[in-house]
Amino acid sequence: MRLAPVNGLRGIAILAVIYFHVVCGMWPATAVPVWLSPVVTNGWTGVNLFFILSGLVLFLPYAAGERSMATVADRLAFYRRRFLRLMPLFYAAAIVEWTLAGRHDGHGVAELLSVLSVAFTLNPHDFAPSFNTALWSIGVEIAFSAVFPFFVVAATRFSLARVLAFALVFALAARLGGISRFPALQGATFNSDMLLCRIDEFVIGMMLARLYIRGRLPSRSGLCMAAGVALVFTAWCGFDQVLRGGLPPIGRAVLNDVLDAGLFLVVWAALAPTTRIAAWLSWRPLQLLGMMCYSLYIWHLPLLDLMMRGRGAMGFGPFAASLALFAVITLAIAALSYRFIEFARVSDWRRLFLLDPPLRAAPGS
């Protein structure tokens, strides 16, 4: 089951993350006007949206009764599908990026092995790999895929509402404990972003899938979307205050819940069919970015560091030219990766790039 608005939301998420990485480190937070700073400093929250959408898409066929986790064979079939979806590109990118980074000493080899074995998701020192820090979120995605069958079974035995309540409380407690031990102002760390701290977002996505299948969608999607955007912006303002010293770092733990509540409403509104919101999110270029988001995400940061390392000191002309070149090369590499690694077994390449109708046949994850 493929949902065009979900692809569009993924497109927005990947644009937000790339935007954040482009502007990150160019100026200190205090150099940006207070009224603009929340928008400049919070593109990283696109990862929260990715996790929610991942939970939604993974659970959708189970919520619809199209697949089951009742037997060992069912679970093994899920693991096989998920391995083929995630790991070929993950392994290819990790090896290429590590090789180009040139860190081939003992520590560098140990780090690569930690990444390839996915052990880095359990290691505070390697959680954000030096040759591509963005791999942390792929590691969390892989870790959730490993436990997903247990959540499907738990949702059947104990009800999804109870599983969600448990996940929300557990993840908040994990973030509070982690950030209190390592009070970072921003950035992905083991203490605030490992799977136990992020599990609630995946289960929120599972609940959205259940609501969609049962037709329990907002009757006033515009109002729902507005409320969601307001909550997201409130969380952004809070995160910005943490950066500026107006709030303690521990506040990030609770602000993450505010952000996720807003994203829940945004996605819930987007799932309502035949609305202007759904139509806007189904715009083909935005959908295509969303469909290619895995390849865009996994390649963009090393390319950015290679092509625009000194971007903070660039004049407007050189910056604009470098940014345009970075965008073209990143899109080209992501398109090749998407076609020949992610979906190498798909023969109809035109469908992969939305060049043939129907749109609902477009691949997702």
- Residue pair 210/159 in contact by the 8 Å Cβ criterion: no
- Please give the pLDDT value at position 360: 45
CA distance 298 to 21: 13
CA distance 157 to 286: 38
- Residue pair 265/227 in contact by the 8 Å Cβ criterion: yes
Q: Which two tokens stand for residue 18?
A: 């790339």
- Backbone phi, psi, residue 356, to 5°: -125, 140
Q: Convert 170-204 into a string of H (helix), E (strand) and C (coil).
A: HHHHHHHHHHHHCCCCCCCCHHHHCHHHHHHHHHH
Parse the chain into domains and list their residue ranges.
4-294
**Terminal-residue alpha carbon distance, the chain:** 10
- Residue pair 341/89 in contact by the 8 Å Cβ criterion: yes
CA distance 351 to 361: 7
- Please give the pLDDT value at position 106: 63
CA distance 125 to 140: 15
| Interaxial angle between packed helices 106-116 and 72-101, expressed in degrees from 0 to 180 and rounded to the nearest 10 | 150
- Please give the pLDDT value at position 104: 65
Q: What is the pLDDT of residues 78-128, one digit of tens each?
A: 999 999 999 999 999 999 999 999 866 667 899 999 999 999 999 998 999
- Backbone phi, psi, residue 200, to 5°: -65, -35
CA distance 242 to 134: 22
Per-residue confidence in pLDDT tens, the chain, 365 aa = 679 999 999 999 999 999 999 998 787 767 788 888 999 999 999 999 999 999 999 999 999 999 999 999 999 999 999 999 999 999 999 999 999 998 666 678 999 999 999 999 999 989 999 999 999 999 999 999 999 999 999 999 999 999 999 999 999 999 999 999 998 888 899 999 999 999 999 999 999 999 999 999 999 999 999 999 999 999 999 999 999 999 999 999 999 999 999 999 999 999 999 999 999 999 999 999 999 999 999 999 999 999 998 898 899 999 999 999 999 999 999 999 999 999 999 988 899 999 976 544 334 44
Q: What is the pLDDT of residues 205-219, one digit of tens each?
A: 999 999 999 999 999
- Residue pair 283/8 in contact by the 8 Å Cβ criterion: yes
